Structure 1
Amino acid sequence: MREKIIEILNEICPGNDFENETAIIDDGIIDSLDIVAVISELMEEFDVQLGVNDLTPENFNSVDAIVELIENAQD
């Protein structure tokens, strides 16, 4: 799952070290339009539904946070 998330992030915003980045949102690496694309790809790839309550910067600031978000959505 982690590798697929990194692949999605690199497709949408290439040229970043998402593997080691811990402040994707806070550092402005991806913006709100990128987040919309990431969410769409995540929902399609992992067959999950993400609601408005899931759309917080904390859930998208790192690959680990995104993994946790998807795992919680799959439960």
Structure 2
Amino acid sequence: MYHLPLPFGCTPCLPIADEMMQDEGRKAQEAIYSNFLALQTQYDTMLQLELEKHVWQVKANNFEATITR
């Protein structure tokens, strides 16, 4: 909580200022988490494509090996 000094003491806690700070923090956390999820999805997609490429390469190699035997 934040206090504003007055010549004759201190104001009561300012819940509005505190709420605004919490709201900004929440927005920042949501943005970071959203970016993390987007990157994770992109990485998962790239990994899946790489695995599929590897599987097709193995299948092609096995097919070539079958023909040459």
- TM-score, normalization by structure 1: 0.23
Structure number with higher strand proportion = 2
Say which structure, 1 or 2, has more relative contact order (CA 8 Å, 6+ apart): 1
Structure with greater helix percent: 2
Bigger-Rg structure (1/2): 2
Q: TM-score with structure 2 length normalisation?
A: 0.24
